[in-house]
Amino acid sequence: MPLRGRFTPPGDKSVSHRLILLSLLAKGEMLVRGLSDCEDVASSLKCFRALGGKATEEQDGLRVTGLDRNFPPMPESGEIDLECENSGTTMRLLAGILAGAPGRYVLTGDAQLSRRPMERVAEPLRLMGAKVSTMAGKPPMVVEGGKVNSSEYALKDASAQVKGAVLLAGLSASDGGPTVVLERASTRAHTERLVDFFKGRVSVDGLRISIWPGTLVLKDTFLAPADPSSAAFFLTGAAIIPDSKVTAENILLSPGRIGFLRVLDRMGANVSITLTSDTPEPVGEATVEYAGPLKGAEIAPEEVPSLIDEVPVLALAATRAEGRTVFRKVDELRIKETDRLMSIRHQLGALGARIKIEGDDLVVEGPTSFIMPESLDSGSDHRLAMTLSLALLAAKRNVPILGSGSISVSYPGFGAQLEALCRG
């Protein structure tokens, strides 16, 4: 069944998290339209409110009042507990914000988040003078904030969340100097773009990002762009299902977020992009039209940060392509909600794909003649669950997908949108 039509995905998760959390360090009031309604962003909003932030639902959006660092006094227990639920972005960015806030904060998460690495954030914050502890490198993470100093830190991993945490801590550096992050490869630039947009002082020179301490100033209104990572499932589905043509409207088109479109274009799909705005982020629409069987491709390590969340659905596309597709150095997938690398291999393998892991590379030999097990298991990984839904559509089959309720973590309306595009 082809996918046809235009749609607007939910608000971008990465931008939505930062709009809420940056407001802890900002003054003013802002009406946010198009904020993501997913569970992960709801976790950031709950933590924002738990720290004294004010956010009120209105008919046309969410009105957020900047806290301007006026964090609440410690309760009798001597600490404030912040439940980040399943959201790694919430926990990591909050750690950076709270590194310069007086008090003791305990950041906890659900069972999945409690398995994810947090030392990668704790280490640079300690170098800035914050007291940060983890439990064997994982949550809960305890931040005893107060005084932090500017620092220069070379990222060990290509992580926009770690970069963001360090930069946000730098906004509170007491010595007045710049905090510098040196990237190994370019990652999502949402933190630095939004800090600049909210009148913070930030400088980007290639892979060197510098930020100076100061208070941010919220805009009167902000329209959050739509999420390209959510759009990717339907756009990739259009590339592999004959007679499909799908357009995603108002989506974020930052180069660091649309690597999947560049790969689909390279594999032979008909891809077009129209830019409509560039402040503070490039926004526009993207169309993908089926253009015949795809060809295998190689995804280089330096491309991976721009498509890390889309590897599952691109791996599905690779199962429908002619020849060999290799995703180089995708070991970051091992530390997502699940060992996503292993889950991709197991579940696409269960559909008959010739797929294997070679070191840190994922290799797919296409095309695949799908077979159909009695059920599939997403491991409660939202991106894998959506990928498997597209796989069943491409295979024209229907079997249960265990753990598909996890889709609400990032795209609560996914099922309804899939049905609408199937109807054309």
Q: Hey, is 355 helix, strand or coil?
A: strand
pLDDT tens-digit profile of 52-68? 999 999 999 999 999 99
Q: What pLDDT sits at residue 116?
A: 93
Interval 74-84 mean pLDDT: 96
354-358/283-289 β-pairing? unpaired
Q: What pLDDT sits at residue 111?
A: 92
Provide the residue ranges of all domains of the chain, joining segments of one domain with +.
Answer: 13-218, 225-423
Count of helices and strands (H, E) across the chain: 12, 24
Active-site residue list = 309
Residue 119's CB is within 10 A of a number of other CB atoms, namely 14
Architecture of domain 225-423: Alpha-beta prism (3.65)
Q: How confident is the model at residue 336 (pLDDT cuts 50, 70, 90)?
A: confident
Q: Which CATH code fits 13-218?
A: 3.65.10.10
Alpha-carbon distance 61 to 58, whole Å?
5
Q: Where are the beta strands (DSSP E) in 146-238?
A: 152-154, 179-182, 202-205, 208-211, 216-217, 221-223
Is the pLDDT at 183 greater than 80? The verdict is yes
pLDDT tens-digit profile of 410-423? 999 999 999 999 99
Q: How confident is the model at residue 384 (pLDDT cuts 50, 70, 90)?
A: very high
Alpha-carbon distance 316 to 364, whole Å?
9
Q: Residue 200's closest CA among 210, 215, 189, 181?
A: 215
pLDDT tens-digit profile of 143-180? 998 899 999 999 998 899 999 999 999 999 999 999 99
Q: Do domains 13-218 and 225-423 have the same CATH topology?
A: yes
Q: What is the pTM of this model?
A: 0.91
pLDDT tens-digit profile of 313-325? 999 999 999 999 9
